[in-house]
Structure 1
């Protein structure tokens, strides 16, 4: 949104080489006037009618040196070819090119109407376009572009907050365990506390940090949404967000704590969690599907898989597509998954944390879990 709105942007300088001598100055004046307030960008145009190779070389140099961000070339037969060329040293001017194209096409139609002696009123009527306005159910004020944007991006914002807090927090926990294990600090800790106390202290400490960060960003998100007149967060949303955050974090923390207790170096551990990390980004890849088809078969199936449950549910809640049954069922699934994952992780942690210099195999881990 910031990139599209022009916030923090400076004046864009563009050249226009107009062989027709008709459109260049009009397009430039229209854009400069339309965006003069700077809310959506500022423009300054250098318009010339000389399209010779020598003058084009001059404009190429201006673009290369950075004096111009690019230039448009309007050929003399543009009314027949309907092609305008744009030259720039770098990509990223899609918005500016689109605006130029829109204004140019409008002026091109006006000029054609004049040349063919057509009734401008009839042409204007035939070319009129309908506008689709969006409304929030139960309200009479239409949604602005920024409001629609925030409503569309809200599910991704919640997903991103949850992902950063849960997955990244669990990874930090794993790195801390590996470091303490390699430095033998864990032995000192276990001399004054038992295994369960050490596990609980680490998990709860990191959970507190994650919850604090998430609450801060939720407040920021609510403030930004309120500024643009969009109610993104309510009390129930906060409660459910924290519920899925805590359950998701506990599940991931148990997994990463168990993995961290198996390795002496972070490099070896990262190789082991590479597959799990790929699974963790699946919700990030499918967030648009959740927004467009929140009740599709794929989304509903993934919603009930514990590794994905918190992420998909928080997105469905953001688009008001989660039923009370789904909320209750997924919370129960996560509670059961966390309980058994914690038990398994506890057995692995207790057995492996003080094993040094020994490569642990999968059959051994399975034997620990069974015992």
Structure 2
């Protein structure tokens, strides 16, 4: 079987060309040394990288919360590629293996890691998070355990999308504990919201409703796995925002009816925007003892309907990146055609057009005027 290693043709790469954030609003292509993998690592020729909002945030703001760019940093973290060398002691991989990169490598020895919560390891080295370089380079070295082998029929583009899909699997299946025949409400029709909805559908949810304010995104959501969509109304001038959120929740439940009325709301809310009105509406949309998972990173603080949370005994939890088993699950979902991740990709660029790729992601529209859902960069085969 012939596998697709790049979504669009990309010229071969000499050396270790890297896309480097020098300072806010300044990026350059830079030739960096090709470094042999350390013991336990594999060297990967990166072939495909998806762009994330965090990559653009570092470009335009130089920081995300406490993570501040203080020195030049290679961008990118949603990648796949081909193993080109293995370090001492590595027996799990060989040159030529096709892999999806899990870009956060923990220490693997602290109590947090040993307890299975390695995404919370205080020594986690995450690609393109200061001070660690990312994957928009010809070569990237990573611990072999975090270079997940993919089946031969999976394309490199699909393999790179295992990163955002793993975020969705962790949010929906692990933190959300989605089950068959549940009613699920997802806020946000961006990549994470869409993938979270798709995971819930693959796990047998009865109803998966996606909420957004952009009509084109809602239209896509309906074709991607949502059983229905909802566009909330904005608060009227002078109207209390909490009351507006409650009204939107009540209107949604009345429009859908069925067992949502009988059960007094949804079983599970996955909030993938971080926007305060969405968080509030999610609280008003849940049934008693319903589960709320905060996935999106928006405003640092939000006003919540605390009385409702207490009276209805709502169950709140966060969701941070991914954890043990999420990559394996994601690879299986795609390999077995349960989720068609490649449909999310609306715009594709070769590596030397990375600036255009970042511009499209930031604007939310490509040069073709079409709405961006997911941007991919195809990187070239390394000359060894």
User: What TM-score results when the alignment is normalised by the length of structure 1?
Assistant: 0.22
Report the structure, 1 or 2, having the larger strand content.
2
Give the structure, 1 or 2, with the largest relative contact order (CA under 8 Å, sep 6 or more): 2
Structure whose residues are more often helix by fraction: 1
Q: Which has the larger radius of gyration?
A: 1
